Amino acid sequence: MITRISPPDKKALAFAKEEIARGGVVAFHTETVYGLGANAFDGGAVAHIFALKGRPADNPLIVHVHRDYDLSALVDDIPPYAKALERAFLPGPLTMVYPSVGKVSPLVSCGLNTLAVRVPSSETAQAFLRTVGLPIAAPSANKSKHVSPVTARHVYDDFQGEIPLILDGGACSGGIESTVLDCTGDVPQILRAGLVTREMIESVAGKCAVYRMRTGEKPKSPGMAHQHYAPKCRTACFSAEEREKARLCYEEELRAGGTPFYVCERALLPFLSGNALDLGGDPAEMAARLYAVLREGEQKATLLIAIEPKERGGVMDGVLNRFCRAFGRDHET
């Protein structure tokens, strides 16, 4: 199969509609990361997504709809606080988990009685969703465990020859996946941190809980229990205080004949000598650059030496969650 990369022009959108209607899979740009989409009503098409990604069968998918789609066709019992959050943040990088009405294929939610729904703000995603006119189940368009894709090229690198079309909307401005918010309780609860932050949710809903998995417990958001975002090269991770250790690690890799690269926030760059990848200067920039830096790093380096950014709270909850999981480090959120 030839994998085409195309902007969302008329021809590409018509082709995407045909593909989706016949149970195929199409990758598309969103403002967070690229998605790998299929008709959420079609069990065979949804199963194909799991097979393409090599995704564990217990990790549910998010359903994507266009901005005028009536969510009551898919979910019910939307509490007043969630309506207010929808008004404030949708379309945008916020996924809401509601009780499902059971219309989409049971494979989408892996048998859970809830459904995660998202209205992306990307023009490319909106054009795609409006043209196909169906709810689209879509995980991030990377092979399971690999780094999420933030350009069409990243998708191509993982799925070349396996999918017919990538709808190219350029680099993703957000850069980390949407905030996943459980709205089935009295208080909204963050299951996955993202660009819509706890502080932003609190400012609209009054309260916002953050889910923390306890050891031995069945996770509420199964995806969070799986290994994720791993670059294909070897990695090491240090706190900002351990800079000297990071330097020794770099020297050792050089002596062994390897090509080490640091990955760190911009403020640290003047204190390091040698190869380095710039994560960015502020939280939004670090979110936007993280996955591209990890993908660049795995191409160039034999060892990626990460130094944890110092800032906490806001968008950094999401950035550090991905950063620490990419480098196999424990993190609170």
- Cβ partners under 8 Å of residue 177, min gap 6: 32, 33, 93, 140, 148, 192, 194, 322
As given in the structure block, the two tokens for residue 260 are: 């080490």
Q: Does 114 bind ligand TXA (CB under 6 A)?
A: yes
Q: Cβ 146 to Mg ion, closest distance in Å?
A: 9
Q: Does 140 bind Mg ion (CB under 5 A)?
A: yes
Q: Does 100 bind Mg ion (CB under 5 A)?
A: no
Strands 114-118 and 94-99, sheet pairing: antiparallel
Say whether 268 sits in a helix, a strand or coil.
Answer: helix
Q: Cβ 7 to Mg ion, closest distance in Å?
A: 24
Q: Cβ 11 to Mg ion, closest distance in Å?
A: 29
Q: Does 95 bind ligand TXA (CB under 6 A)?
A: yes
What is the DSSP annotation of 281-325? SSHHHHHHHHHHHHHHHHHH-SEEEEE-----STHHHHHHHHHHH
Report the alpha-carbon distance of residue 92 to residue 64 in Å, rounded: 11
Of 158-166, 173-181, 203-211, 232-240, the segment contacting ligand TXA by CB under 6 A is 173-181
CB 266 within 8 A of CB 310: no
**Of the candidate residues 177, 253, 298, 317, the single one contacting ligand TXA (CB under 6 A):** 177
Q: Cβ 248 to ligand TXA, closest distance in Å?
A: 36
DSSP-assigned beta bridge partners for residue 99: 114
As given in the structure block, the two tokens for residue 64 are: 């994507």
CB atoms within 10 A of CB 162: 14
Phi and psi at residue 317, to the nearest 5°: -55, -45
Site string for ligand TXA, 35-54 (x = CB under 6 A): x-------------------
Q: Which is nearer to ligand TXA, 13 or 62 (CB)?
A: 62
Phi and psi at residue 3, to the nearest 5°: -100, 115
Q: Which is nearer to ligand TXA, 91 or 139 (CB)?
A: 139
Residue 222 binding: pick among Mg ion, ligand TXA, none (C-beta 5-8 Å cut-off by kind): ligand TXA
Q: Cβ 29 to ligand TXA, closest distance in Å?
A: 9
Of 71-79, 89-97, 137-145, 298-306, the segment contacting Mg ion by CB under 5 A is 137-145
Q: Does 321 bind ligand TXA (CB under 6 A)?
A: no
**Which parts of 123-152 interact with ligand TXA (CB under 6 A)?**
138-140
- Cβ partners under 8 Å of residue 99, min gap 6: 75, 76, 77, 113, 114, 115, 184
Residue 90 binding: pick among ligand TXA, Mg ion, none (C-beta 5-8 Å cut-off by kind): none
Interface residue list for Mg ion (CB under 5 A): 140
Site for ligand TXA, rule CB under 6 A: 30, 32-33, 35, 59-62, 95, 97, 109, 112, 114-116, 118, 120, 138-140, 177-178, 180, 191-192, 220-224
